[in-house]
Amino acid sequence: MLLHLLLLGLIFTLQIPASSAAIDSIAPGQGLVCGVSDKLVSLDGKFALGFFQPGSMSHNTLNWYLGIWFNKVPKITPVWVANRDDPITQPALVSFTISQDGNLVILDQATNSMIWSSRVSIRTNTTIGMLMNNGNLVLQNASNSSDILWQSFDHPTNTFLPGAKIGRDKVTGLTRRLVSKKNLIDPARGRYVYELVPNELILKLLNSSVAYWSSGEWNGQYFSSIPEMLSRSLIDFKFVNNTNEEYFTFTLLNDTMIMHHLLDVSGQMKTLIWDEVSQDWLGSYSNPKAQCDVYALCGPFTVCDDNSAPYCSCMKGFSIRSPEDWEQNDRSRGCMRNTPLNCGSNRSTAGVTDEFYSLSNVKLPQNADNIGAAISARECAEVCLRNCSCTAYSCTDSRCSIWHEELLNVKQQHADTTDTNDGAVLYLRLAAKEMQTQKPDRRVATRILSAAIVTALGLLALILLVLLLMIRGNNRDWSGGTLKNPQDGGGIIAFRYIDLQRATRNFSEKLGAGGFGSVFKAYLTDSATMAVKRLDGACQGEKQFRAEVTSVGVIQHINLVRLIGFCCEGERRLLAYEHMPNRSLDIHLFQDNNTVLNWCTRYKIALGVARGLAYLHESCQDLIIHCDIKPQNILLDTSFVAKIADFGMAKLIGRDFSRVLTTARGTAGYLAPEWISGVAITAKVDVYGYGMVLMEIISGRQNSFEQYTVGGDCVVFFPVHAAQMLLEGDVASLVDEKLSGDVNLEEAERLCKVACWCIQDDEFDRPTMGDVVRTLEGLSDLDTPPVPRLLQAITRRSSHPPSTYLSNESE
Ligand SMILES: *[C@@H]1O[C@H](CO)[C@@H](O)[C@H](O)[C@H]1NC(C)=O
Ligand SMILES: *[C@@H]1O[C@H](CO)[C@@H](O)[C@H](O)[C@H]1NC(C)=O
Ligand SMILES: *[C@@H]1O[C@H](CO)[C@@H](O)[C@H](O)[C@H]1NC(C)=O
Ligand SMILES: *[C@@H]1O[C@H](CO)[C@@H](O)[C@H](O)[C@H]1NC(C)=O
Ligand SMILES: *[C@@H]1O[C@H](CO)[C@@H](O)[C@H](O)[C@H]1NC(C)=O
Ligand SMILES: *[C@@H]1O[C@H](CO)[C@@H](O)[C@H](O)[C@H]1NC(C)=O
Ligand SMILES: *[C@@H]1O[C@H](CO)[C@@H](O)[C@H](O)[C@H]1NC(C)=O
Ligand SMILES: *[C@@H]1O[C@H](CO)[C@@H](O)[C@H](O)[C@H]1NC(C)=O
């Protein structure tokens, strides 16, 4: 008891800097006390150092840590933590001070133990700890301030601040690298590492040598996979390699900006910028681009899907092993089996064997055991069944692979993404009991129950599947390889106007013009190109525009054109997008007679556009209505994958968007009746526009200008005609003649039905884009739609297409 009092006395003899006086350093005999809102503040007020408790309102930990955060950001965002692995659980008698040996320490006087120390050997005890303006905590010699004995920049946690270094001191052997946090609230050393290996930056798993992302090698100006580094309007990068050290560093050109690079719990390296308007961190850049490219993100026995939120889900027959960690974004423990395998238990002798559940179109796990070629799927299954540690097999190109114990890095592929798709079928071993409880699931295309049940028909289906995969080809193994494609650098870049002017060769190569401005081709390097849109009539203030660009930039989907960057100088507003070499859909449907889009491509495009719109409507944080769906806004990449352009324009242009839209448009063929009637606009206007586009994909003609003559003098508007033909069961007559009958009539009927439902007069009769996707994927069906009455009435009264009628009406 006496001892306790003595110690208490000791604590209170520490001179505690008053927080109002904003002191930036501590000297021997001074200190900060845990649990009290004491802090050091850097001279310019940008950074603070003190004790904090991580967590949000809902998840608070009781643990305390000593850390540095942005003093002017109301959300405490620690950029450095001293005792990340050694939390303070009893803050009562804990303080941060300078010890007798001159080191910075966290002392617990209740137990008389040292929780943390800067641990350098110092010859004198006259030292000072100082928080610098760049967020670096420095221990310096009191009699010589340039004599630095220790600094926090040499021991980073998970954050790379401007002015800090990532790399290696060749003399002392000190390595400066980032290690991610364990989970959202626990700053302890987690799973991922960001470091400089000779000449390149990599991301890898802790204690492993396999990198899942690489910056590419330094080529003198930039890391070869990040050409965006050339745009130095916000940040200046430096790579140094001399006899003493090798490191990468960066500085901000405008010091008022609050930003940092962070190695997130998710294994991605993110660039975050504080936005005063929204009072939140905006992510402007992340590597690797696709979340599921992070090694073992979801843990064992999971499937990672970049197109869904959340990304991780347990495989069939498995459930989350540690729900608490899972909720805090630490998925490393993955999922566990619900029912033990029969294998090895006494039951198996009674004739009950394990069975297989198929996971189709997935990227296979690595570490396969290759059993050999020219072996049937059935034999492959049997090989797996014979060994109790075997958990899955795959039989592709008649090559049998089996996996033992944990399955890692299984990633869902999407059928329509690209032709370089490397999806395969993985057969997951489950106890027979699990298979019996299985609900009907359409994804189970093929299932091997047991060797005895495999019928000749089943085998045939399997062979067809394998053949299909062979044709797709390119079945690469998961190699955890590096991304060397410069397109994958990602992120939203702030370009200078003169750089864009130069890149577009003074706006000389016009790619097109739309309602919001003209689009020009820009050359980033000799091979890398972009499309630069010069916005007309943009009246957003600079701050607002920057905020909106960032929020639109994070919307990424395979069927949406990616926003690369922007320029905002004075009155000038420009946007830089990825460049689509195959231009827009209208060119292929109506203009270019040399290349006829085949049916399969048309169907893929229809499905791709539906997925892109469904993503905008249903998956983004706030609903995005495109408002201007038409073939001119559907771009095609090199493999004819459809990408929707011009989304999020309402945010970028500002409040008067709908006026700009309705007055700027020449044709109203894709405008839903609500635009004219003046009721509130919902996502269903996009469904209407999409229906009109589908009609054009089917017919290969433009709805609004070409009338459709049937028999003698009867002239009808094609969409109305299509609805009538659908009722009469004659879909074949509707399909583009240019296809010369090369068409899947079942698919054509499905497209027609969807199109007709989409253009119904009443928005409540139209399906959602999610419904459309499910229908086109064959997962659900639609009734035969009625003929849209408004359109029918219009075409009866006038031989003009409805666009003219509607625009007269609106005046
Ligand atoms: C520094 O060390 C000297 C001798 O080792 C000692 O007398 C003095 O009290 C120490 N000063 C502090 C502030 O600890
Ligand atoms: C601090 O600086 C003084 C004067 O330059 C020097 O004598 C002393 O050795 C230094 N202390 C340490 C620990 O380097
Ligand atoms: C202060 O420290 C620096 C760096 O260690 C050294 O180069 C310099 O000579 C020292 N100055 C004095 C006066 O000791
Ligand atoms: C860095 O220096 C080492 C030797 O000092 C050399 O081997 C290496 O190639 C250099 N790297 C670069 C990127 O210049
Ligand atoms: C990495 O290795 C260190 C020491 O070798 C060990 O303490 C730590 O637990 C390992 N971490 C992981 C995630 O395996
Ligand atoms: C830095 O940014 C602020 C706010 O964006 C701006 O007001 C200031 O002029 C900029 N300073 C420089 C040197 O560009
Ligand atoms: C399996 O059978 C053996 C002997 O036949 C018996 O000793 C053992 O307890 C059985 N195990 C289980 C899990 O039923
Ligand atoms: C099962 O496979 C593992 C891994 O290849 C092997 O070590 C083990 O010996 C096998 N067991 C049997 C019974 O073949």
* pLDDT tens digits for range 175-217: 999 999 999 889 999 999 999 999 899 999 998 888 999 999 9
* Ligand 2 atom having least distance to the Cα of 102: 13
3-state SS of 385-421? HHCCCEEEEEEECCEEEEEECCCCCCEECCCCCCCCC
Q: Is 346 close to ligand 7, i.e. is its CB under 6 Å away? A: yes
Domain assignment present for 444? no
Residues 6+ apart with CB under 8 A from 106: 34, 66, 82, 83, 88, 94, 95, 96, 114, 115, 116, 117
Co-location of 278 and 307 in the same domain = no
Pocket of ligand 6 (CB under 6 A): 254, 256
Co-location of 601 and 739 in the same domain = yes
Co-location of 532 and 562 in the same domain = yes
Co-location of 123 and 202 in the same domain = no
Co-location of 765 and 661 in the same domain = yes
pLDDT number for residue 273: 82
Residues 6+ apart with CB under 8 A from 740: none
> From the CB of residue 644, how many other CB atoms can be counted at a distance below 10 Å?
23
How many whole angstroms separate alpha carbon 594 and alpha carbon 576?
30
Distance between the two ends of the chain, CA-based, in angstroms?
A: 89
Co-location of 185 and 311 in the same domain = no
Q: What is the CATH number of the domain that holds 552?
A: 3.30.200.20
Q: What is the CATH number of the domain that holds 781?
A: 1.10.510.10
How many whole angstroms separate alpha carbon 218 and alpha carbon 224?
6
**Mean pLDDT, rounded, of the chain:** 79
Q: Is 146 close to ligand 1, i.e. is its CB under 6 Å away? A: no
Domain assignment present for 659? yes
Which pLDDT band, with edges at 50, 70 and 90, does 702 fall under? confident
Could you give the count of Cα atoms lying within 13 Å of 285 in the half-sphere of its Cβ? 18
Co-location of 314 and 263 in the same domain = no
**Is residue 645 pLDDT above 60, yes or no?**
yes
- What SS3 state is found at 747? helix
Q: What is the mean pLDDT of residues 549-565?
A: 85
- What SS3 state is found at 371? strand
**Interstrand relation of 399-404 and 390-396 (parallel, antiparallel or unpaired):** antiparallel
Co-location of 151 and 189 in the same domain = no
Of 406, 435, 464, the one marking the end of a domain is 435
Domain assignment present for 441? no
165 is in an annotated binding site: no
**Is residue 440 pLDDT above 50, yes or no?**
no
Of 435, 469, 503, the one marking the end of a domain is 435
Domain assignment present for 465? no
> From the CB of residue 739, how many other CB atoms can be counted at a distance below 10 Å?
16
Specify the residue with its C-alpha closest to ligand 8, atom 14.
Answer: 387
How many whole angstroms separate alpha carbon 25 and alpha carbon 130?
4
* Ligand 4 atom having least distance to the Cα of 246: 1
Could you give the count of Cα atoms lying within 13 Å of 472 in the half-sphere of its Cβ? 23
Which pLDDT band, with edges at 50, 70 and 90, does 414 fall under? confident
Q: What is the CATH number of the domain that holds 62?
A: 2.90.10.10
Could you tell me the residue range of the domain that residue 416 belongs to? Answer: 302-435
Closest by alpha carbon to 26, among 89, 98, 87, 126? Answer: 98
Overall domain count for the chain = 5
Q: Looking at 276-423, which runs of residues are DSSP E strands? A: 280-287, 302-304, 312-314, 318-320, 335-337, 355-363, 369-373, 390-396, 399-404, 411-412
The helix, strand and coil proportions of the chain, stated in percent and rounded to the nearest 5, come to: 25, 30, 45
How many whole angstroms separate alpha carbon 351 and alpha carbon 346?
10
More confident residue, 475 or 711: 711
Domain assignment present for 475? no
Q: What is the mean pLDDT of residues 491-517?
A: 82
Q: Is 206 close to ligand 5, i.e. is its CB under 6 Å away? A: yes
Specify the residue with its C-alpha closest to ligand 7, atom 8.
Answer: 346
Closest by alpha carbon to 443, among 331, 384, 361? Answer: 361
Domain assignment present for 459? no
Co-location of 558 and 502 in the same domain = yes
pTM: 0.60
Does 656 qualify as catalytic in the annotation?
no
pLDDT number for residue 537: 64
Taking every pair of Cα atoms in the chain, the longest distance, rounded to a whole number of angstroms, is: 111
Domain assignment present for 160? no
Specify the residue with its C-alpha closest to ligand 4, atom 2.
Answer: 241
Co-location of 285 and 314 in the same domain = no
- Return the sign of the alpha-carbon dihedral for residues 589, 594, 599, 601: negative
Which pLDDT band, with edges at 50, 70 and 90, does 502 fall under? confident
What is the phi/psi pair of residue 784, to 5°? -70, 130
Which burial class, exposed, middle or buried, applies to 486 when counting CB atoms under 10 A from its CB (0-12, 13-18, 19+)?
middle
Co-location of 41 and 146 in the same domain = yes
Q: Of 354, 628, 686, 771, which one is the catalytic site residue?
A: 628
Co-location of 637 and 755 in the same domain = yes
Domain assignment present for 511? yes
Q: What does the block give as tokens for 736?
A: 């583009």
Residues of the chain above pLDDT 70, percent:
76
Q: What does the block give as tokens for 501?
A: 């002017």
- What SS3 state is found at 133? coil
Taking CA atoms, 774 is separated from 443, 676, 758, in Å, by 13, 30, 14
